[in-house]
């Protein structure tokens, strides 16, 4: 009988079907093991199918980037010649006239930087007299020669001891050229050394079109511009002792006795300082400050101005400068007003985020600025959605800004 053809597997070896089955079981086991580990790390099987990550919310401005104060720019009574500049402290430059980038002689207005330097090196509190200076024999002897040249001087005596305040009174009120020399030597040891200090301080103040060749301004090579002197006026008047000195109409000093301030505008139209100057090379000059009503409610604001190079004779150039400054002071206050840039509730930005509706941000109250026609303000929205703000900044005075928290 023939053998039936039956396939036999090799002794002890698994079948192909069994091998495949075991492979499938191992694959399923590895899948569930990995899934379990992911679930344990992510807090559940759902972590494998996490929602897409959204972009963060952002603030999108919806206002112009600038605002122009409405109205016709003011026409001020600028002097017909020379240079002039006006600025409200905290609001910015109101205007200027003449070739204000050209450096010109400034006469005794230069003594403002001399006083500024002395007070920087030897500070005084308001009303304090300070240390004593001793007048040398040489300094006393030069007095009569200066008188013969027609300089502005006060009498001094060899061996005389005068206080720092007395010397500054003589410098700023009586405009004493000889005391400018005395202070320079006392402060720095010599006039040349003092001039190095003066020009360094000028540069530090941003006074870039000026050169000081003497401490009194008598030298026509001591030159500056109206805008440079405006910077100096602001800096000097921030020193309380200086502001007190230049606000005096008169004082009494040793030897000379009573002296008067050449600035006849003091006490009129809010004028509180600061320094006159006049030579035939410089013309009539005046650096001035006035507290004048400006804007709604008659709020007083500090006005600074400089007038240089006013023409005339030796006896009229200073009165001409004083008159020009007086006209500017009286006119300046009337040009300042308030303007509402944005009314309360006006939307200025939106909070935008993917898969969310835009959320509006608005100013909670009227946004009002001070200024004058033609003055431009920049507008900027900044900050995160939870604390966004609108900032308006004057292009004439970056330190003047109005900030509104958005809601």
Separation of alpha carbons 345 and 342, rounded Å: 8
Binding residues for substrate: 275
Q: How far is CA 35 from CA 38, 42, 47, 278, in A?
A: 5, 10, 10, 94
Binding residues: 275
With a CB cutoff of 8 Å and minimum separation 6, the contacts of 46 are: none
Mark whether 404 is an active-site residue: no
78: which 2 tokens? 């600028």
Q: Which of 11, 15, 97, 108 is catalytic?
A: 108
| C-alpha closest to that of 285 among 81, 128, 140, 76 | 81
Q: How far is CA 186 from CA 116, 122, 132, 190, 236, in A?
A: 14, 10, 10, 8, 20
Q: Which of 111, 152, 210, 224 is catalytic?
A: 111
Q: How many CB atoms lie within 10 A of CB 207?
A: 22
Q: Which of 175, 201, 224, 394 is catalytic?
A: 175
Separation of alpha carbons 343 and 359, rounded Å: 19
Mark whether 111 is an active-site residue: yes
Cα 349 from chain centre: 29
Torsion-angle region of 204 (φ positive above 0: left; ψ -120 to 50: alpha; else: beta): alpha
Separation of alpha carbons 249 and 266, rounded Å: 7
Separation of alpha carbons 210 and 102, rounded Å: 10
Mark whether 175 is an active-site residue: yes
**Burial class (CB within 10 angstroms; exposed 0-12, middle 13-18, buried 19+) of 70:** exposed
Residues shown for the chain: 407
Report the catalytic residues. 108, 111, 175
């Amino acid at each position: 009988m023939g053998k039936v053809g039956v396939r036999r597997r090799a002794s002890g070896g698994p079948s192909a079907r069994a091998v495949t089955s075991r492979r499938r079981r191992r694959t399923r086991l590895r899948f569930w093991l990995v899934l379990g580990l992911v679930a344990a790390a992510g807090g559940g099987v759902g972590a494998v199918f996490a929602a897409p990550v959204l972009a963060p919310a952002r603030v999108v401005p919806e206002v112009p980037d600038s605002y122009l104060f409405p109205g016709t720019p003011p026409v001020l009574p600028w002097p017909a010649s020379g240079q002039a500049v006006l600025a409200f402290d905290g609001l910015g430059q109101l205007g200027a006239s003449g070739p204000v980038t050209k450096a010109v002689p400034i006469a005794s207005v230069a003594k403002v930087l001399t006083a500024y330097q002395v007070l920087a090196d030897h500070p005084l509190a308001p009303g304090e007299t300070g240390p004593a200076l001793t007048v040398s024999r040489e300094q006393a002897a030069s007095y009569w020669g200066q008188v013969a040249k027609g300089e502005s001087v006060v009498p001094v005596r060899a061996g005389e001891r005068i206080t720092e305040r007395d010397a500054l009174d003589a410098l700023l009120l009586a405009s004493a050229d000889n005391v400018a020399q005395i202070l320079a030597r006392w402060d720095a040891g010599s006039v040349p050394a003092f001039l190095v200090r003066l020009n360094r301080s000028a540069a530090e103040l941003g006074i870039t079109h000026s050169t000081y060749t003497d401490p009194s301004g008598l030298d026509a090579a001591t030159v500056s511009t109206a805008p440079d002197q405006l910077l100096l006026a602001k800096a000097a008047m921030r020193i309380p002792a200086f502001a007190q000195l230049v606000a005096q109409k008169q004082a009494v000093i040793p030897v000379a006795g009573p002296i008067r301030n050449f600035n006849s505008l003091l006490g009129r139209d809010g004028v509180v300082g600061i320094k006159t100057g006049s030579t035939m090379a410089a013309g009539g000059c005046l650096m001035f400050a006035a507290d004048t009503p400006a804007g709604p409610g008659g709020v007083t604001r500090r006005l600074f101005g400089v007038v240089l190079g006013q023409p005339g004779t030796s006896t009229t150039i200073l009165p001409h400068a004083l008159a020009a400054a007086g006209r500017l002071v009286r006119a300046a206050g009337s040009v300042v007003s308030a303007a509402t840039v944005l009314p309360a509730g006006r939307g200025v930005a939106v909070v935008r985020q993917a898969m969310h509706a835009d959320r509006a941000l608005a100013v909670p109250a009227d946004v009002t600025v001070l200024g004058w026609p033609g003055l431009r303000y920049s507008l900027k929205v900044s900050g995160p959605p939870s604390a966004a703000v609108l900032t308006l900044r004057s292009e004439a005075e970056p330190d003047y800004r109005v900030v509104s928290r958005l809601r």
